[in-house]
């Protein structure tokens, strides 16, 4: 099994503040890796660096051994097409309809796709995630759970093999939470690679193959999920994990 994303001694600073400090790690293809640790420890920043949304202050991030920062436009478009990022706040366009938000990735990555085919793809994905309301409305008219469903649907439209998910189930009711967990389970069953930030033990237990602890902007330790499930003492070392099950 290869390493799909490689972090090579990456650091990231904002002005004089060090957010990520010299982290090296290899994310395995077709596995679910969950980043955990205390709030403010750098998990979400690390996820954005791994996805190429931020450029490290030093070090390099590789996608299949190609430095993301050095990709040309075609290579970068192919990387974006084969991967997807779901933001913690969903990041839907406030001044656009839901349909427009969903249509954009298809227009970008499949410029020759006909409108009827885009519409069919959108409807198929929405059916899969269980969203049933109108698409002419704007994100402000949705609940937090519905916004997360739309953001997840948008990520799925180009059928990527790599997902970056930032606190996908945070602040949701139990029904919405479980619906999204089931969607991620379906990704796992399809052998997608998933890199996920979460503080929920339920999510970790149901989805993770590997758990990586990040604290103070540093890589602390990696645990296979079998160690987490068999040794309760390790939970205390994870930090920032909600043990509610």
pTM exceeds 0.95, yes or no: no
- Neighbouring C-beta atoms of residue 244, cutoff 10 Å: 7
Predicted confidence (pLDDT) per residue in 139-179, tens digit: 999 988 889 999 999 999 999 999 999 998 777 777 778 88
Q: Which of 33, 27, 31, 37 is nearest to 6 (CA)?
A: 27
Quick one: what percent of the chain has pLDDT higher than 70? Answer: 93
Flag whether pLDDT at 241 surpasses 80: no
**Residue among 144, 147, 152, 135 at smallest CA distance from 98:** 135
- Per domain, the residue ranges of the chain are 3-90+161-238
Among residues of the chain, what percentage have pLDDT more than 90?
Answer: 68
Q: Which CATH superfamily is domain 3-90+161-238 in?
A: P-loop containing nucleotide triphosphate hydrolases (3.40.50.300)
**How buried is 217 (Cβ within 10 angstroms: 0-12 exposed, 13-18 middle, 19+ buried)?**
buried
Q: Which of 147, 162, 167 is nearest to 88 (CA)?
A: 167
pLDDT digits (tens, 9 = 90+) for 11-24: 999 988 999 999 99
Q: How confident is the model at residue 54, as a pLDDT?
A: 96
């Amino acid at each position: 099994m290869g390493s799909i994303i490689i972090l090579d001694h990456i650091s990231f600073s904002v002005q004089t503040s060090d957010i990520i400090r010299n982290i090296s790690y290899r994310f395995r293809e077709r596995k679910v890796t969950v980043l955990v640790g205390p709030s403010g420890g750098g998990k979400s920043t690390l996820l954005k660096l791994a996805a190429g949304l931020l450029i490290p202050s030093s070090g390099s991030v590789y996608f299949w051994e190609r430095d993301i920062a050095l990709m040309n436009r075609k290579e970068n478009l192919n990387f974006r097409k084969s991967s997807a990022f779901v933001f913690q706040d969903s990041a839907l366009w406030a001044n656009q309809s839901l349909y427009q938000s969903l249509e954009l990735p298809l227009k970008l990555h499949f410029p020759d796709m006909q409108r009827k085919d885009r519409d069919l793809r959108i409807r198929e994905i929405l059916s899969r995630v269980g969203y049933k309301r109108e698409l002419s409305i704007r994100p402000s008219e949705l609940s937090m759970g519905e916004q997360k469903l739309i953001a997840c649907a948008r990520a799925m439209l180009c059928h990527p093999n790599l997902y970056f998910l930032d606190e996908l189930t945070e602040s949701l009711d139990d029904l919405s939470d479980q619906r999204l967990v089931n969607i991620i389970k379906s990704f796992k069953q399809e052998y997608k690679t998933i890199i996920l930030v979460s503080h929920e033990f339920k999510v970790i237990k149901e989805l993770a193959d590997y758990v990586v602890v990040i604290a103070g902007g540093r890589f602390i330790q990696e645990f296979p999920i079998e160690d987490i499930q068999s040794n309760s003492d390790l939970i205390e070392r994870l930090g920032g994990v909600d043990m509610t099950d």
